[in-house]
């Protein structure tokens, strides 16, 4: 037990409370949503007849909706879909970002010009509006399709960062030596250059995950998702439509809102620690804190000393 406590990983977590809180939050939510059937035996689509807008109680931990669905069960099962949408969109976005960003940074020339212009154009078109219009043209979309749309429209942000990073790496010696050795382009791109950017890629993945969950909740809140599916966004949509706000049914909003907020907070904290690990400059923060502590103690000691002297 003591061995585990003192191991490197545990020491890392102990030294960085931000990471531990973030990891614990994300783990709890993942556990609750993936193992939803362990924590509740109510079917999220089951409608309890004559139990509409019931206040939270023992049988319905978070009460029921206007239609008589159990909010707690809906939150758990809905979270599963929402998080999956986020993960899928995140993977797609990061993948496209890597492919276009690294290749355009490495090859340069007209290919780079075309990609950069395209990226810049996509970036000045408001993303949410574009998402909404594509969703509207497809006439209502399933959660899976939402993640595809988000993935296809939000990769330019990642591609831009990765392109800049590739351009700074491409004139390093190891790339030249790989070229001289006659390595294939594919190998240079993905085995030589890409591993140097893993921290950027992972932090991009986490932020896209947050963005995708936000965007899908927004799309569904406006009324684009499939109203029969059960996700956090759809729950917000239903609550808003049935007037949960005006009638004071706060419990209907509590489930999805706390799910989104807690998961977002957890991921944000994890993102901070990814930055800290990959960028030693940011670690200086902790050293600075120790410095402030010492300075404060010194000031206290000096004050004491001067007090003693005046006496």
Partner 1 sequence: MKYILKRLLFYIIAFFGALALNFFLPRMMPGNPVQMFLSNLYKSGGVVDEATIAAVEKLFGYDAETPLIISFFHYIGSIFKGDWGVSFTFFPQTVLESTARGVRWTVFLLGTALVLGFIINTLLGILVAWKRGSRLDTTLTVGGQILANIPSVVTAILLCIALAYTDIFPRGYAVTPLFFAENVFQYIGDVAYHAFLPVLAVIITGLGGIMGMRANMINQLGEDYIVMGIAKGVPDRKIMFGYGARNALLPVVTSLAMQIGFLLGGSLIVELVFNYPGLGQIMVMAISRRDYPLMQGILLMTTIVMLTANFIADISIMILDPRTRRQGVNGN
Q: How far is the CB of 65 from partner 1 (least distance, A)?
A: 16
Q: Which listed residue (114, 284, 299, 305) binds partner 1 by CB under 8 A?
A: 284
Using CB under 8 A as the binding rule, the residues of this chain from 94 to 153 that contact partner 1 are: 117, 120-121, 123-130, 132-134, 136-139
Residue 108 pairs with which residues in a beta bridge?
none
Q: How far is the CB of 61 from partner 1 (least distance, A)?
A: 20
Q: Which listed residue (13, 265, 277, 278) binds partner 1 by CB under 8 A?
A: 265
Alpha-helical runs (H) found in the chain: 2-6, 8-15, 17-34, 36-39, 71-107, 109-124, 127-137, 143-153, 155-169, 173-180, 185-187, 198-222, 232-241, 250-278, 280-310
For residue 74 the two structure tokens come to 């809906």
Helix (H, G, I), strand (E, B) or coil at 142: coil
Residue 14 makes contact with partner 1 by CB under 8 A: no
Using CB under 8 A as the binding rule, the residues of this chain from 152 to 191 that contact partner 1 are: 157
Name 161's Cβ contacts closer than 8 Å, sequence gap at least 6: 97, 101, 200, 204
Binding mask 16-35 for partner 1 (x = CB under 8 A): --x-----------------
# chain residues binding partner 1, by CB under 8 A: 55
Binding span for partner 1 by CB under 8 A among 8-16, 144-152, 171-179, 256-264: 256-264
**What is the Cα Rg of the chain in Å?**
25
Residue whose C-alpha is closest to residue 213's, from 134, 154, 138, 274: 154
Residue whose C-alpha is closest to residue 122's, from 146, 89, 152, 87: 152
Using CB under 8 A as the binding rule, the residues of this chain from 192 to 211 that contact partner 1 are: 210
Contacts with partner 1 by CB under 8 A lie at 18, 117, 120-121, 123-130, 132-134, 136-139, 157, 210, 213-215, 217-218, 221-224, 236, 240, 245-246, 250, 253, 257, 260-261, 264-265, 267-269, 271-272, 281, 284-289, 291-292
């Amino acid at each position: 037990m003591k061995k585990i406590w003192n191991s490197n990983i545990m020491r890392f977590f102990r030294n960085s409370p931000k990471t531990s809180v973030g990891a614990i939050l994300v783990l709890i939510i993942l556990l609750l949503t993936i193992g939803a059937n362990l924590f509740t035996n109510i079917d999220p689509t089951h409608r309890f007849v004559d139990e509409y807008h019931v206040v939270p109680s023992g049988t319905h931990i978070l009460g029921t909706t206007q239609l008589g669905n159990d909010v707690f069960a809906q939150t758990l099962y809905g979270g599963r879909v929402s998080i999956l949408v986020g993960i899928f969109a995140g993977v797609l976005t990061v993948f496209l970002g890597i492919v276009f960003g690294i290749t355009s940074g490495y090859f340069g020339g007209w290919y780079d010009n075309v990609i950069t212009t395209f990226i810049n154009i996509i970036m000045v078109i408001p993303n949410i509006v574009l998402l909404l219009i594509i969703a509207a043209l497809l006439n209502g979309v399933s959660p899976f399709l939402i993640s595809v749309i988000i993935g296809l429209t939000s990769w330019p942000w990642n591609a831009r960062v990765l392109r800049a990073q590739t351009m700074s790496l491409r004139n390093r010696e190891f790339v030249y030596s790989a070229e001289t050795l006659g390595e294939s382009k594919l190998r240079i791109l993905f085995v030589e250059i890409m591993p140097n950017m893993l921290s950027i890629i992972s932090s991009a993945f986490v932020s896209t995950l947050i963005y995708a969950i936000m965007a899908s909740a927004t799309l569904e809140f406006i009324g684009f998702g499939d109203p029969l599916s059960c996700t956090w966004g759809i729950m917000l949509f239903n609550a808003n439509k049935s007037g949960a706000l005006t009638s004071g049914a706060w419990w209907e909003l509590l489930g999805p809102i706390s799910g989104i907020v807690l998961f977002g907070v957890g991921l944000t904290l994890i993102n901070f620690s990814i930055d800290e690990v990959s960028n030693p400059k940011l670690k200086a923060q902790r050293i600075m804190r120790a410095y402030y502590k010492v300075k404060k103690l010194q000031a206290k000691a000096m004050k004491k000393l001067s007090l003693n002297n005046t006496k």
